Amino acid sequence: MFSKFILNTIFLFSVLIVSAQTDSGEKMNINLIKVKNNIYMLQAKGGNIGLSFGNDGVFMVDDQYADGIEQIQNEIKKVSDKPVRFLVNTHFHGDHTGGNPAMAETGTVIFSQENVRNRLQDVIAKETKKISEEALPVITFAEDLTFHFNGEKIYVFHVHNAHTDGDSMVYFTGSNVLHTGDVFFNGKYPYIDIENGGSLKGYIAGLDRALLIINEDTKVIPGHGDVGSYKDLKDTIEMLSILYKRVNNLYLNNKTEAEILEMADLTKEYDDEGFGDGFIKTDAFLKMIYKEVSQEASEGAEERAAKNKEAMKKYKEIEKKLKEKEKN
């Protein structure tokens, strides 16, 4: 049935590592890792790709940068000669969507949460160098979407204002494998794109929702990093919650961003585990938390001021009525 899918047996508990070159001539290592059953994770230059191989064809989650997509397509063909029929973008960043035009040219249908298409349209409009309209997902959804493909139900669900405002996770229910997109950086401090709708509280809420859907045996494909577990998600939630509370308390005690950045003990237990060794360094992560905390405080002050203004308005109206009543 599968002329090349027989290679699955070779990948059992193993990793295929190949050295390829991008269009610019830069060498790119590609790791194709069997996660469980017919679900694989492909690592290269950008965010982790999820792949489902089977009788129906190939189901793909994210596609990294444009300059590496040809090599990625070649690696997929080594496992299965069937077409990539569906592609889900977990969010709009280029290290997860850069290969969209090339995938669309092969007939792949691209799906995403509706905010992803909107964000990509903005990117296309602002870019000085031409980006093909084929980068845009052709089918979008608001909250969730279900595929029945390769013998299992694939549940795609939106998590609100987490890494961005358009994040989705993809759960291969039969294989019990979850692809989180960038709502999970395994063992590293995450990047939270506040400018494009992301938030730390939303990030934590997104991970909490994932824990309600999966179980302790679930294999987790993160946006970046190695294959993770249910426990890794719980540990990440704990780390984010603890650091948020620490920074928030310091902010409420009038500590400046500069003063907080000098407090090495603030993140020591996580830095010792290597959380600050990834793309987002400790200082950058603390600055992100501080920015969110200060924004929340500012918004809270504005809300309180508005409520006080409204209360004063009502008080004056009541006072006016009482005076009129006394005159009568």
The pair of structure tokens assigned to 187 is: 């063992």
pLDDT for res 19: 40
Distance CA 273, CA 88 (A): 32
Classify domain 5-230 at the CATH superfamily level: Ribonuclease Z/Hydroxyacylglutathione hydrolase-like (3.60.15.10)
pLDDT for res 313: 57
Where do we find the tokens 């969110």? 292
Going 199 to 200 to 203 to 208, the CA torsion angle's sign is negative
pLDDT for res 17: 36
Q: Say if residue 273's pLDDT is above 70.
A: yes
In the sheet that 167-172 helps form, which strands lie side by side, from edge to edge?
144-149, 152-159, 167-172, 177-179, 219-221, 228-229
Give residues with Cβ within 8 angstroms of 169, minimum separation 6.
90, 156, 157, 159, 178, 179, 180, 181, 183, 206, 210
Q: What is the average pLDDT score of the chain? A: 88
Distance CA 107, CA 85 (A): 7
Q: Say if residue 127's pLDDT is above 90.
A: no
For the segment 15-34, the average pLDDT, to the nearest whole number, is 60
Beta bridge partners of 145: 156
pLDDT for res 321: 65
Strand ranges for the chain from DSSP E: 15-21, 27-36, 39-43, 49-54, 57-61, 84-89, 109-113, 139-141, 144-149, 152-159, 167-172, 177-179, 219-221, 228-229
Long-range contacts of residues 298-307, Cβ cutoff 8 Å, at least 24 apart = none
pLDDT for res 67: 93
Q: Say if residue 320's pLDDT is above 90.
A: no
pLDDT for res 325: 63
Query: Binning pLDDT at 50, 70 and 90, where does residue 13 land?
Result: very low
Stronger pLDDT, 328 or 159, i.e. the higher one: 159
Q: Say if residue 174's pLDDT is above 90.
A: yes
Going 183 to 186 to 190 to 193, the CA torsion angle's sign is negative
Lowest model confidence (mean pLDDT) among 5-9, 145-149, 166-170, 236-240 = 5-9
pLDDT for res 130: 72
Distance CA 219, CA 21 (A): 30
Give residues with Cβ within 8 angstroms of 100, minimum separation 6.
63, 87, 89, 110, 134, 135, 136, 137
User: What's the CA dihedral at 114, 124, 167, 80 to 10 degrees?
Assistant: 100
Domain residues of the chain, as ranges? Answer: 5-230
